[in-house]
Every structure is written in structure tokens, then in C-alpha cells.
Structure 1
Amino acid sequence: KVFSTPAASEGYDTNNLEYFQVEGENVSLLMYIAYLDCHHEQCLVFRNNYISDEACTLYVPESVLGKNATCCDFIFDLLCGTKQKFYTYD
């Protein structure tokens, strides 16, 4: 089981960080929230600084998979670049 805890970084009033922690472990993974689609709940873009300054992850709910998410793709490309993308889903 993985728990996530939102938090605000220094100087921010809005939660722009997410800590992920596996149940029973005492270490957590910090990810920066670069974009969150609050109105349509179609996507979330994380900055993966633990990999590199340019690494990002785009999360979409299962209901959006296979649909045209042009806005989310645009935001991802704008914030993270248009380099090669890898698609992973379960």
C-alpha cells in the first residue's frame, strides 16, 4: 500500500508537492506538482527531480486513456519538452 501526502513548499499557500510512502517504510519519495487539472480532472504532471531536472510524469485516470487529451499533452510538452515519451499503464 502506498500513501500520498500533499504539502506546500516554502513560500506557497497551495500544495505543490506530493510525498509518496510505502506502508511500513520510513522513507518517502518527493515529487513536485507542475500542473493539476482541477476543473476536468483529466491529468496531473509531476516533475521528477529525483531522476533529472527535465524528467516528468503525466498521470491520467483510466477513463481518459485512449481519448484525445490535447490540453494535457500540450501542458506536458510546454513544461517538460517534446523529447521521447514512454507510455506505461496497467
Structure 2
Amino acid sequence: MLILAIDTTGFSASIALVKDGKKVFFNKIDSGFIPGKNWWDFPYLLPSCHQKFLIRNLKGIKWEDIDAIAVSTNSGIYNCILVGLSVAETLAYCYKNL
């Protein structure tokens, strides 16, 4: 079973492909946002950073090989969680076998 895992709950975002419990692909981006220092920008810019990161890393995936999509939804930055959920739901809708 090949699972696409997405995490956009915080200041970093990650994406992974896991096959039978073993990591096939992993990539993570750190946004560089520092709470308190540039706090006024992050609600607007951070979700955009996560979205661009996901789109860039999803290119080239053979969707017919993906069996499931896992996305983290617990305790995080609300706007960032919505990015991960939106991407996962859109992919599941477009490739209905997921």
C-alpha cells in the first residue's frame, strides 16, 4: 500500500510517500517564521508557502499508484491546516480511487 502523507499544521510543512510502512520519499520546508518577530505576516504568508511547497513536490507522482492520502489535522495553525486538508480533498476528488 502506497500512502501520501501531508503535514501543514505548523511553521513547517512536510510531504511523504510511505510504502508498506517504509519511507519512499520525504521532503520538509521550514518557513523561517519566528513567533513574535514577524508575527503580523504569518497568517497570510505561511499558508501560501505551504501551498507552493506541496504543489512543487506533488509533480511527477503517478496517482494510479497511490492507495490512500493521510493528512494531519490536529492542533496547529488553523489556516495552515486548511491548506493541507484542501490539497488532500482536492486530490481525492480528482482521483476518486483514493
Is the structural similarity TM-score above 0.5? no
Question: What TM-score does the superposition give when structure 2 sets the normalisation length?
Answer: 0.28
TM-score by length of 1: 0.30
Higher relative contact order (CA 8 A, sep 6+): 2
